[in-house]
Chain A
């Protein structure tokens, strides 16, 4: 079996595990966790929204870092990984962009607001789209790799600027309730479910990226064979 197929298979296993984990998260979130008094059932969207946001942000950061490495080292494996992470990141940012407003409407009364975090969400989405659009529009693999890497790297560098400029304005987003070293202000069932969900989404990210990487490797190898034969 070729290396590409092996990678796809392994990635597939991780993905299936992740999907099973997602089922578990659904059960935990919908049944096991208590209903929050002020926000009601809609608060439970948090258990899928926050981990998706985390996965999207992680995907994006990796695209940026790996892009920088690619520009330096020009190893095509790095380019393949960046392309995979970008596509998977887009999927998670779509989740982030849809669940965010669905949560916002009942809790803040509005579908959308230009606060710090939602705006960053939108920016990440556009940066992913731009990156993938550029890749799709270029045929030469060398050019595609280099140009995409430039966008990936610059995009990552842009994020702190977006964050800063939007934070100079008021923000409606609920303040972090989790990151307090002494005592997170969250009942244990909620915390446990959330942490498990983070783990599941990370697993899904890894599985998806692995499969996507394998697919890209297979395509690249086929293209190279065709090129050599022709």
Chain B
């Protein structure tokens, strides 16, 4: 019996390798993020709306929307080839299945962010300055949370006819609290507020992450079994 950690690594690795071969989801997410950014640049009146006012919102909206693209993809792959049954039959503990999927999704979303964030800085003529460790931390914390929920709902939405629409309907209420908090934290970080002021917001994100990661791992077996 392979150790749990090894199972997770194998599962995540499989997903990442499959995606890397075609790279479609990754590329579409990146292209989407870029397009969204461009739209934001032009969909405002430059005279009355300074980029600094919009910046935190734009960053987070872009990241959130682009990452939702990855969640149905993660399971569409398996649905296509009936591979989910293969997974169910293999001697993999369900906790490993969730964690493997989750880590693969997380890797994808981080990759999208790695591209989207510098693009954002470029298009919006901003820099994070000394705030960048804080913003990086906020990005990581918020992403960890919504990838957890996205993984769970992606697995369910894929079994319905309008998977992408269903995913959005289900996911949006869950994205708003961390999104709101992340934007608030970013606003304060960019205004060079001390880290102590932001601690509360970051703690919220951390608790959100822990709660939904745990819950996600607990309910995942119910999504997979007969």
Contacts and interface: CB of A to CB of B under 8 A. Distances in A.
Determine direct contact between A and B, CB below 8 Å. Answer: yes
Interface residues of B, number: 32
Interface string A70-86: 01000000000000000
Interface in A143-201: 143, 146-147, 149-151, 153-155, 157-158, 161-162, 164-166, 168
Which of B152, B172, B180 has the most chain A CB atoms inside 10 A of its CB?
Answer: B180
A129 B160 CA distance: 15
A155 B173 CA distance: 9
Main secondary structure of the interface of A (DSSP, over half): helix
Nearest to A127: B173
Contact of A123 (B156, B173, B222, B225): B173
Nearest to B153: A151
Nearest to A114: B180
B219 A153 contact: yes
Chain A interface residue number, banded: 20 to 34
B212 to A, nearest CB: 7
B40 to A, nearest CB: 21
A126 interface: yes
- The 5 A-B pairs of least Cβ separation, nearest first, read A137-B160, A165-B177, A161-B177, A147-B156, A146-B222
27 contacts: A126-B172, A129-B169, A130-B169, A130-B173, A133-B169, A134-B160, A134-B166, A134-B170, A138-B160, A142-B226, A147-B159, A147-B223, A150-B152, A150-B222, A151-B153, A153-B215, A153-B219, A154-B219, A155-B173, A157-B212, A161-B204, A161-B208, A162-B177, A164-B177, A165-B176, A168-B181, A168-B184
Interface of B: 149, 152-153, 156, 159-162, 166, 169-170, 172-174, 176-178, 180-181, 184, 200-201, 204, 208, 211-212, 215, 219, 222-223, 225-226
